[in-house]
Amino acid sequence: MTNTKPIHRVAIVGAGVIGASWSALYLAKGLEVIASDPAPNAEANLRKFVDAAWPALERLGLSPNASRTNLTFTANLAEAMAAADFVQENGPERVDFKQKLYGQLDALLPPDVIIASSSSGIPMSQIQPGAQAHPERCVIGHPFNPPHLIPLVEIVGGDKTSEETIRRADEFYSSIGRKTVRINKEMPGHVANRLQAALAREVYYLVAEGVVSAADVDTALSWGPGLRWGVMGNMMLNHLGGGSGGIEHAFAGLLGPMMGWWKTLGSPDMTPEVQRKLIDSVHAEVGSRAIEELAAERDEILIGLLQLRSKRPETSAPREVAAE
C-alpha cells in the first residue's frame, strides 16, 4: 500500500556541518527537528550554526511556522527516533559504522519511516545490510554542501530499496524546494561528486605542471564556464552551443576537437611534492583572507544567484517520477 503519511518531524542523526545545515533548512521549511549526536558540545555547535545560517534563510524566504524554537536536541538516539517521520543520517563515512547505526535505527523506527543517508560516496547497497528487518526503507539522500543553500539532492536506492521509498523521498525533498536527481545506477561518489572529481583531476594537473596558477585556474573556471554552469548544465549548454542546429550541430563541429583534448587530459600523481605545490599556490591566491571571510563571500553570491534563479522558469523539462 502506498504510504501518504505527511512528514512533520525530521530526526537528524549526526549534527556536524552537514547535519547542522540540514537542520537549518528543515527548520526554515516549517518542520520540527530533533537532532542527536553523542559528540561533546554537539548541541551548542548545532544551535550556533543554525543561528548563523538563519539570516540567509530569511532572505531566501521562510515557510509558514518556520522557527528555530522547533529544534530540540538529545544525545539519546532512541529518544530522537521516538516520533520521527523521516530520518536524515549524517554519520561518519565508514561502512562498518553505518551498518551498525542502521541496525540500531531499523530496530527503533516503525517500518514506514524512511532512513535517508547523506553519504557522499558509499553506495546504499553497502549500508543497508545493517537494516536487516526493513532494508527497503533505506535510501541515499545526498545533499551538496551547504544543504541549507544548495538545492541539489541526489537520490539513490540500494539493491533492496523499494520504489515507493524512492518516490516518497523524491516527493519530500521536492516539497521543501530541493532539486532532486534520481540516480538509476549506484556509483562510488554518486554523480555530482564524480563530476567534481573529474574536473579536479585536470585542475590539479594543470597547476602541478606549471601551466597555470591556482588563482588563474580558479578565475578561468568561475568567470568562464562556471558562470554558465550556474544557469544551465553541460548538456543544455552544448545544445545552445550548436546554434540553430542544436546539439546535433555542436557534435558535428566540436566533438572531434574535444575528443582530441581528451587524449591530453592529465592524471596527476598526487605525491607529497605535488600536493605541496598545489597548497602553496592556493595560499598565494588566498593571501590574508580568513576561511570565514571566503565562506561569507561564497554564500552572499550564492544567495543572490538563488534569488535570481527563483524568478526565472526552469531551464529543463521536469523529470517524471516513476508511477507505482
Residue 67's CB is within 10 A of a number of other CB atoms, namely: 11
Q: What is the pLDDT of residue 324?
A: 39
E strand residue ranges, the chain = 9-13, 32-36, 71-73, 86-89, 114-117, 138-143, 152-157, 179-183
Helical (H) or strand (E) element with 291: helix 291-309
* Residue 271 CA from chain centroid, whole number: 29
pLDDT above 90 coverage of the chain, percent: 91
- Residue 120 CA to residue 12 CA, distance in Å, equals 16
Residue 1 confidence (pLDDT) above 50: no
Query: What's the mean pLDDT in 191-211?
Result: 96
Which residue type does 11 have?
A: A
Residue 2 confidence (pLDDT) above 60: no
Residue 186 confidence (pLDDT) above 60: yes
Query: What's the mean pLDDT in 182-196?
Result: 95
Q: What is the pLDDT of residue 37?
A: 96
DSSP 114-133: EEEE--SS--HHHHGGG--S
Residue 124 neighbours by CB under 8 Å, 6+ apart = 117, 138, 139, 140, 156, 157, 158, 161, 186
What is the overall mean pLDDT for the chain?
Answer: 93
Q: Is the pTM of this model over 0.75?
A: yes
- Residue 324 CA to residue 299 CA, distance in Å, equals 39
E strand residue ranges, 9-137 = 9-13, 32-36, 71-73, 86-89, 114-117
Q: What is the pLDDT of residue 317?
A: 54
Q: 138-143 and 152-157 as β-strands: parallel, antiparallel, unpaired?
A: antiparallel
Q: What is the pLDDT of residue 323?
A: 39
Pair 115, 142: CB distance under 8 Å: no
Q: Which of 295, 270, 249 is nearest to 207 (CA)?
A: 270
Q: What is the pLDDT of residue 322?
A: 43
Query: What's the mean pLDDT in 133-140?
Result: 98
Tens of pLDDT, residue by residue over 260-294, are 999 999 999 999 999 999 999 999 999 999 999 99
Which of 152-161, 291-300, 310-319 has the highest average model confidence (pLDDT)?
152-161
SS3 266: coil
Q: What is the pLDDT of residue 3?
A: 64
Q: What is the pLDDT of residue 207?
A: 97
Q: Which of 243, 177, 198 is nearest to 31 (CA)?
A: 177
pLDDT range class, residue 153, cuts 50, 70, 90: very high
Q: Which of 150, 299, 262, 284 is nearest to 217 (CA)?
A: 284
Q: What is the pLDDT of residue 321?
A: 46
pLDDT range class, residue 21, cuts 50, 70, 90: very high
Q: What is the pLDDT of residue 311?
A: 81
E strand residue ranges, 20-104 = 32-36, 71-73, 86-89
Q: How many CA atoms lie within 13 A of 324 on its CB side?
A: 11
- Residue 73 CA to residue 113 CA, distance in Å, equals 20
Question: What Cα–Cα distance (Å) separates residue 66 from each residue in 28, 223, 278, 297?
Answer: 5, 36, 43, 26
Query: What's the mean pLDDT in 205-228?
Result: 96
Show the cell assigned to 90. Answer: 549524517
Q: What is the pLDDT of residue 320?
A: 54
Query: What's the mean pLDDT in 126-138?
Result: 97
Q: What is the pLDDT of residue 310?
A: 85
Higher pLDDT, 280 or 320: 280
Query: What's the mean pLDDT in 60-74?
Result: 96
Residue 314 confidence (pLDDT) above 90: no
